[in-house]
Amino acid sequence: MPFMLVFGPGYAANAITDTLAAEGWEIRRVARNPRPGDLAFADRAAVLPAIAAASHILSSVPPGAEGDPVLATYGAAIAASRARWVGYLSSTGVYGDAAGGWVDESAPLAGRRGGRNIADAAWLALHPQARVFRLPGIYGPGRSALDRVAEGKAHRIDLPKQVFSRVHVADIAGGVIASIAHGPPGAYNLADDAPCSQNRVIEAACDLIGRPWPPLLPLAEANLSPMALAFYAENRRVANGKARRLLRWQPRHPDFHAGLRAIMRAEARPAPPAG
């Protein structure tokens, strides 16, 4: 039976492992705040044997101020492991600002967060079976524009040329799992087919649940967090052709319209009245 060891269970990692568990995989999670059944990150006596026994190893832990904690603590053990597959969930932020242009996996790592760039490259070089998945804006049930609109937290920002890519969490799971069966090691972008402005997504979410569009605000007046401001400072379209060709992956939600409608169905949200 295949055995996946997962560092940093989170939203995307759980979507992957829930799918694999339903197919009969053994899943063990390593967490800083372990729940029953998890391994504690600091418990090397338990984690090192799990690394040695795992057929597949996945990390979704982002780097911190002092670098990637998984690489720092367990990188040597993972590099020496007999795992048939090693995966790391990275970010398309490693490409930096492309002025609205397309980026693929051949683009240089020029993101503003140097720690993420370093971790991305280090995971690629760590193990002969390493796959790095570069992810844009992640959304899905419980974490989408529908929720922000319903909570009154959605913004429309007056940046006419702003564009970015996104991916539904189920398509992350589909792409990562596809890489277990198909395709060579390396870096892969997992993104939908329709990069667009955040405003279009917010407007569609408002229409779906029958709420008025938020006012269009200048960036300086939107009272955004530093993280949100950093998001609007970058502008790029993410190409997914490599994953389609080599992993035989095809997103089930090729654009935000399909993704938001799927969330509506999954969450049984009522549609607004006609008219």
Cα four-point dihedral sign 73, 106, 194, 248? negative
Which tokens hold the place of 46? 């338990």
What is the model's pLDDT at position 275?
54
CB 204 within 8 Å of CB 196: no
pTM of the model: 0.95
Q: How far apart are CA 197 and CA 157, in angstroms?
A: 10
Question: pLDDT of 187-214, one tens digit each?
Answer: 999 999 999 999 999 999 999 999 999 9
What is the model's pLDDT at position 1?
85
Q: What CATH architecture applies to the domain 3-268?
A: 3-Layer(aba) Sandwich (3.40)
> pLDDT > 70: what percent of the chain?
97
What is the model's pLDDT at position 15?
97
What is the model's pLDDT at position 96?
95
Q: How far apart are CA 137 and CA 169, in angstroms?
A: 10
257: closest CA among 152, 168, 158? 168
Which mean pLDDT values do the consecutive 10-residue runs of the chain (275 residues) have? 95 97 97 95 98 98 95 98 98 95 96 93 98 97 96 93 95 98 97 96 97 93 83 92 98 97 87 62
CB 173 within 8 Å of CB 16: yes
At 138, is the secondary structure helix, strand, or coil? strand
Question: pLDDT of 138-182, one tens digit each?
Answer: 999 999 999 999 999 999 999 988 999 999 999 999 999 999 999
Pairing of strands 130-135, 56-59: unpaired
